[in-house]
Amino acid sequence: MLRLSTLATVIFLSTSLFGQKPAWQPAPGHLTLNLWPHRAPGAAANSAPEFDATTAKDHLIAGKPVIRLGNVSVPTLTVYQPTAKNTGAAVLVFPGGAYHILAIDLEGTEVCDWLNSTGITCILVKYRVPDSGPYSKSSAALQDAQRALGIVRSHATEWHVDPQRIGVLGFSAGAHLAAALSTHFEQRLYDPVDAADKASCRPDFAVIVYPGYLALAEQNFAFNPDIPVTSQTPPTFIVQAEDDPVHVENSTAYFLALKNAKVPAELHIYANGGHGYGLRRTDLPITAWPKLVETWLQTIKVLPPTGLPTVAR
């Protein structure tokens, strides 16, 4: 069993075993695990070093810069546990970045802060980029997502998580990854590694925020057939702005696919908001979407009514 006190050891192993020092590390006190005990499936022996691609010329979000993590070849998960109430629910968070970088703070650590405040354990997944992409162009990111959810479910007791209330939340490309995991969970895309791969990697619910790759622009925004929605796809919350340059049809097409499969789904479309705002509040109403998610999680009984905390079963 790995405890928080082993964090420094885990990071050291990540550096020494794989010959690469991470360009980003979580704040002290959070357990970080490599997703793969050895090299990730199909990974090159010598990868370019991980780096922060942020520059002074990058657009600010709500007046603040964004950490843009690139060349991630050693995928990890980091556990952020609530410090006050613990509802027993957990969410794996997939930052976006067009499968090229990861917006690791805007769509990662800041999301974990919010989830922890609601009593949810947050699992921040640093999946492989840029040598990945939307499945089925590449299996790398989806392999990482499958592996991560299996690890969380296999550690549910240790991490005080209810194994039947583990969801996913993704932004942009990460939202596509959350949808891909929601529809590709019956079979692993890699050879089993250990007992974690015997645990189900089906999310119990999904939150999809300004997704990409779900509608095919070159085919008049037809729904992407690589996301095979069925009645077993988990309940899903979707939010996007109509003026999103990535195209709101990604949300509407996915919602209709869920509706046709009789999967419980909730869709919120706002007139304005653009793309890539994360949880940073502005004067636009769409940036209040986290409160809508909290209400939805109560509706589907992942979270208890306000003021009634639960514990992991």
For residue 305, being part of any structural domain is answered with no
pLDDT of res. 57:
76
For residue 212, being part of any structural domain is answered with yes
Between 61 and 216, residue with greater pLDDT:
216
Mean pLDDT of 149-163: 97
Tell if the pTM clears 0.85, that is, is over it.
Answer: yes
pLDDT of res. 49:
87
For residue 33, being part of any structural domain is answered with yes
Between 88 and 44, residue with greater pLDDT:
88
In the chain, the number of structural domains is 1
Residue range of the domain that includes 138: 4-299
Q: Residue 7: pLDDT above 80? A: no
Q: Residue 5: pLDDT above 80? A: no
In Å, how far are 164, 205, 262, 264 from 234, measured between CA atoms?
Answer: 12, 5, 10, 8
CA distance 176 to 75: 18
Confidence of residue 18 (pLDDT cuts 50, 70, 90): very low
Mean pLDDT (the chain, rounded): 90
Q: State the number of CA atoms in the 13 A half-sphere of 112 facing the CB.
A: 23
Give tens-digit pLDDT for 292-311: 999 999 999 999 987 544 44
Mean pLDDT of 148-177: 98
Give tens-digit pLDDT for 95-105: 999 999 999 99
Give tens-digit pLDDT for 36-64: 998 899 887 777 889 888 887 777 888 88
For residue 154, being part of any structural domain is answered with yes
Least confident of 9-23, 151-165, 239-253: 9-23
For residue 311, being part of any structural domain is answered with no
For residue 232, being part of any structural domain is answered with yes
Q: What is the CATH number of the domain that holds 179?
A: 3.40.50.1820
Give tens-digit pLDDT for 178-209: 999 999 999 999 999 999 999 999 999 999 99
DSSP string, the chain: ---GGGHHHHHHHHHHHHT---S--PPTT-EEEESSSSSPTT--SSPPPPEE---TTSPPBTTB---EEE-B-S-EEEEE--SS---S-EEEEE--STTTEEETIIIIIHHHHHHHHTT-EEEEEE--BSS--STTT-SHHHHHHHHHHHHHHHTTTTTT--TTSEEEEEETHHHHHHHHHHH--SS-SS---SGGGGS----S-EEEES--SSEEGGGTTEEPTTS---TTSPPEEEEEETT-TT-THHHHHHHHHHHHTT--EEEEEESS--S--TT---SSGGGGHHHHHHHHHHHTTSSPSTT------
Confidence of residue 20 (pLDDT cuts 50, 70, 90): low
For residue 211, being part of any structural domain is answered with yes
For residue 313, being part of any structural domain is answered with no
